[in-house]
Structure 1
Amino acid sequence: MNKMFLAMAAGGALALTIAACAPQATQSGAALDFAENCTACHGPAGRGNGPAAVGMTPAPSDLTVLSQDNGGVFPKSRVMGQLVGYTMGRSDTHMPVFEELRAGPVVMYDDGSGDPVATPARLVAMADYIQTLQQ
């Protein structure tokens, strides 16, 4: 029985050692864009509580309630507009414009009008990522 216990303990230790040596998963794509551009103000979970948000007026939006605040529908087009500076008359925000989201390949995006338009893929991916943060 002791030999079996020792073998299991050794196997467990070996598994932990291998796991510790394995490369850590790195963020890519929209998750990386969010981490690099949004977490300072919105926080890693998108709740508006990043370290740069302290004392900011108005406070950064809680990105996790965008759908809730829009009748249960994620306002994807509005989010994309905000990211690239089209704020539809809102000037009270500290939100920077992320021009780099306009770079690169495009995808056809239909905002619900039935007329797909060429839209930067990185911008659509960022909006899709923010949609995953919804409560």
Structure 2
Amino acid sequence: MRSKISKTPGGQNLADVPAADFPIDRLFEKRIHSVLQSRASDSATAHRHGTLQAIRLTDIPIVTKKELLAWCRHLPAHVVRGKGVVSLIGSSGAAAPYSLQLSGGKAVVSPLPADCGKEPVIILIGPSLDRQEIREFYEKLIHQ
């Protein structure tokens, strides 16, 4: 197993390096590039560095669970993961916060405490995300 553990820049196995000696610049190395997407701004640009990209959707409208899941099913196939907090219209007709998890083409929503204080946001992750394509899917959700 030790032979499969990557080496530090100094040549040591990571398993043999005390936690305090791990190179801080390697720990905070940027591996995912993100794009902020909202109704208020159309100036976001996609970064093409690395293997994965993340797009952050804000200003998420309040929709029903059925509408949200339908939207998730129609996302491009190269969206491999998604997470977020959304407000959904519950059976009582009032909006309530839910967590959203997307993975492997499946979407799961779970209720959050009403006082969680989290703003609605969805993060979509995948290789070669097309900002315009994601924006079109995002606009469909907003204009439902």
State the TM-score, normalizing by the size of structure 1: 0.24
- Scaled by the length of structure 2, what TM-score is found? 0.24
Higher strand proportion (structure 1 or 2): 2
From the two aligned structures, give the one with the greater helix fraction.
1
Larger RCO (CA under 8 A, 6+ residues apart): 2
